[in-house]
Structures are given as structure tokens and as C-alpha cells.
């Protein structure tokens, strides 16, 4: 009987160790490696909403921005993303100049390159060129252009307007995000060739039901 209990204890310990190993493996598989990802997520921030919460930010000094580039993010189809991929390098003067034609502030540019751009595997200028092409790929509909008037739409209507202006966007290729009752971002998914694609796990619309407010430009 003692031998039986000893055997069962050893078996339980072995199974427990296997369980721990299995639990750790997804994390080990997600070690961030430049160029190792499945698709891009293009994040466009609605600047007037950002500026309601950050009125002193240089982005908010009466420039009349509507949607601005938040980032072009490498993503995993199974959910999650790589970040801060080595080797981490600083942007040179030419790269900063290019980046400032895309991002609204230098602080955001540096953050996005360090956290997300380094994982593209393209190098700084290659990543910025990809962000430029991604921005040009997405046509903002007239209904979502900068305006001095408040507008109200349901999140599904905003997604539909984007699809109408960009027929290639798939049914699962765009997500709308809100900050409380107000529009904060739209996110469009692109493959590595910067063509419209389905979004991976975890990318979805995050807004309340009913109409949401689209703040006017300052």
C-alpha cells in the first residue's frame, strides 16, 4: 500500500511539473523577436478626444487635427504583440525628420519606434516608410474629417463608413475604440504587405451601445 501511495505521489508531481512547463511555454514562445509577427494594426487616434484629456500637449495647440497616427503595431494572430525588440536603437536626424511628417509629436514618434517599430524587422526608415504607406492606404470618409461641429454616430456606423471609403477592409478588419462616451481611436488591420486583412484575436470594437460623441477640433 505504501508503494502504491508513493507511486501516486510521484505521478502527481510529474504531472504537476508538466503542467507548469506547458503554462510557461506560451510566454517563452512570445519572446519578442524583430520581424516575427503575423500582421500590422494601424491605430489612428481621434485627436480632439485626446486633447480633452491632455490640453497642454503640443499636439493640442490649435492645429486642427482630426485622426492622427498613433502607431503601426506588429501583432500576433493568436493575440498579443511583440514589443521593444532588440537591438534597440535611437533614431538619427534623418529618421526623426521623416517620422515627424507622420506622427504629431516627437515624443510619440520615439515611443512608437522603441516599443513597436523595432519589432517590424525593417529598420527605422523601413518602418517609417511602412507607416507612411499604411496611412496612405486608409481613406478617411468625409463624415469623419475634422469638423468644428459635434457629431454622433454608433460605433457600427463608423466602421461601416470606413468600409465604404475602403472597400478592401474586411468585416473583421476594423475596430472602433471609445474613451467613455467619446470616440478615441479606429484600428485597421493590414497584412505584412500592407493590404487589408482580418484582425487577430483580441482586436475588437470597444464602445458603449448607442451613439457615441465625436468631439470637434479645437
What ranges do the domains of the chain cover?
34-214
Indicate if the pLDDT at residue 162 is higher than 50.
Answer: yes
Q: What is the CATH number of domain 34-214?
A: 3.90.730.10
Q: Of 58, 95, 112, 182, which one is the catalytic site residue?
A: 112
Q: Of 54, 58, 111, 116, which one is the catalytic site residue?
A: 116
179-212 tens-digit pLDDT = 999 999 999 999 999 999 999 999 999 999 999 9
Active site residue 185: no
Active site residue 70: yes
Q: Find the range with the poorest average confidence among 26-35, 96-105, 167-176.
A: 26-35
Q: C-alpha distances in angstroms, 178 versus 47, 71, 94, 205? A: 12, 17, 35, 8
Query: pLDDT class for 30, splitting at 50, 70, 90?
Result: low
- pTM to 2 decimals? 0.85
- CA 71, distance to chain mean position in Å, is 6
Q: Of 54, 70, 106, 157, which one is the catalytic site residue?
A: 70
65-120 tens-digit pLDDT = 999 999 999 999 999 999 999 999 999 999 999 999 999 999 999 999 999 999 99
**Residue 189 half-sphere exposure toward CB, CA atoms < 13 A:** 21
How far is the C-alpha of 169 from the C-alpha of 161, rounded, in Å? 11
Active site residue 112: yes
Amino acid at each position: 500500500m505504501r508503494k502504491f501511495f508513493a507511486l501516486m505521489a510521484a505521478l502527481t508531481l510529474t504531472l504537476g511539473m508538466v503542467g507548469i512547463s506547458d503554462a510557461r511555454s506560451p510566454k517563452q514562445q512570445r519572446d519578442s523577436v524583430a520581424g516575427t509577427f503575423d500582421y500590422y494594426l494601424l491605430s489612428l487616434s481621434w485627436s480632439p478626444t485626446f486633447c480633452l484629456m491632455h490640453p497642454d500637449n503640443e499636439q493640442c495647440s490649435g492645429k486642427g487635427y482630426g485622426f492622427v497616427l498613433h502607431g503601426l503595431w506588429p501583432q500576433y494572430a493568436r493575440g498579443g504583440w511583440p514589443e521593444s525588440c532588440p537591438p534597440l536603437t535611437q533614431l538619427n536626424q534623418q529618421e526623426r525628420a521623416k517620422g515627424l511628417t507622420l506622427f504629431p509629436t516627437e515624443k510619440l514618434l520615439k515611443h512608437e519606434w522603441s516599443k513597436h517599430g523595432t519589432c517590424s524587422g525593417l529598420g527605422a526608415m523601413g518602418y517609417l516608410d511602412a507607416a507612411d504607406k499604411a496611412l496612405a492606404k486608409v481613406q478617411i470618409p468625409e463624415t469623419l474629417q475634422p469638423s468644428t461641429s459635434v457629431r454622433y454616430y454608433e460605433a457600427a456606423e463608423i466602421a461601416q463608413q470606413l468600409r465604404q471609403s475602403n472597400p478592401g477592409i474586411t468585416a473583421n478588419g476594423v475596430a472602433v475604440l471609445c474613451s467613455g462616451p467619446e470616440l478615441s481611436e479606429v484600428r485597421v488591420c493590414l497584412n505584412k504587405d500592407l493590404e487589408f486583412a482580418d484582425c487577430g484575436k483580441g482586436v475588437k470594437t470597444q464602445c458603449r451601445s448607442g451613439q457615441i460623441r465625436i468631439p470637434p477640433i479645437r
